[in-house]
Amino acid sequence: MQVETPTILRKIVARKFEEINERKLHTSYADLEAAAADANIHNPSRGFAKSLRNKIHNGDAGVIAEIKKASPSKGVLRELFVPADIAKSYEKGGAACLSVLTDRDFFQGHEDYLVEARAACQLPVIRKDFIVDEYQVLEARSIGADCILLIAACLSGEKLRELDLMARDLGMDVLVEVHNRPELELALEYSSTELLGINNRDLHTFELSLEHTFELMGDIPSDRLIVTESGIHTKDDVSIMREKDIHAFLVGEAFMRAQEPGEKLAELFQA
Ligand SMILES: O=P(O)(O)OC[C@@H](O)[C@@H](O)c1c[nH]c2ccccc12
Residue 44 is predicted with a pLDDT of 98
For a mutational test of ligand 1's pocket, the pick from 8, 10, 12, 68, i.e. the residue with the most ligand atoms closer than 8 A to its C-beta, is 68
Q: What is the pTM of this model?
A: 0.96
pLDDT above 70 as % of the chain: 98
Q: List the end-to-end C-alpha distance of the chain, in Å, as a whole number.
A: 43
Q: Indicate the helix (H) or strand (E) that contains 34.
A: helix 29-42
Distance, CA of 150 to CA of 91 (rounded, Å): 25
**pLDDT tens string 18-59:** 999 999 999 999 999 999 999 999 999 999 999 999 999 999
Q: Which of 201, 205, 204, 255 is nearest to 229 (CA)?
A: 201
Answer whether residue 1 shows pLDDT above 80: no
Residue 271 is predicted with a pLDDT of 72
Q: Following DSSP, what letter does each residue of 43-80 receive, concatenated?
A: S----HHHHHHHHHHTTS-EEEEEE-SEETTTEE--SS
For the residues 97-116, what does the mean pLDDT come to?
98
For ligand 1, is residue 230 a contact (CB within 6 Å)?
Answer: yes
Catalytic residue annotation: 66, 68, 128, 177, 199, 229-230
Q: How far is the CA of 127 from the centre of ligand 1 (A)?
A: 12
Q: How far is the CA of 34 from the centre of ligand 1 (A)?
A: 31
For ligand 1, is residue 202 a contact (CB within 6 Å)?
Answer: no
For the residues 167-179, what does the mean pLDDT come to?
98
Residue 7 is predicted with a pLDDT of 80
Q: What band does 6 get if pLDDT is binned at 50, 70 and 90?
A: low
Q: What band does 4 get if pLDDT is binned at 50, 70 and 90?
A: low
Question: Residues, the chain, total?
Answer: 271
Q: How far is the CA of 257 from the centre of ligand 1 (A)?
A: 14
Residue 42 is predicted with a pLDDT of 96
For ligand 1, is residue 251 a contact (CB within 6 Å)?
Answer: yes
91 or 8: which leads in pLDDT = 91
Q: To the nearest 10°, the Cα dihedral for 12, 17, 20, 21? A: -140
- ipTM for the predicted complex comes to 0.98
CB 195 within 8 A of CB 225: yes
CB 142 within 8 A of CB 39: yes
For the residues 111-137, what does the mean pLDDT come to?
98
DSSP helix/strand/coil, 222: coil
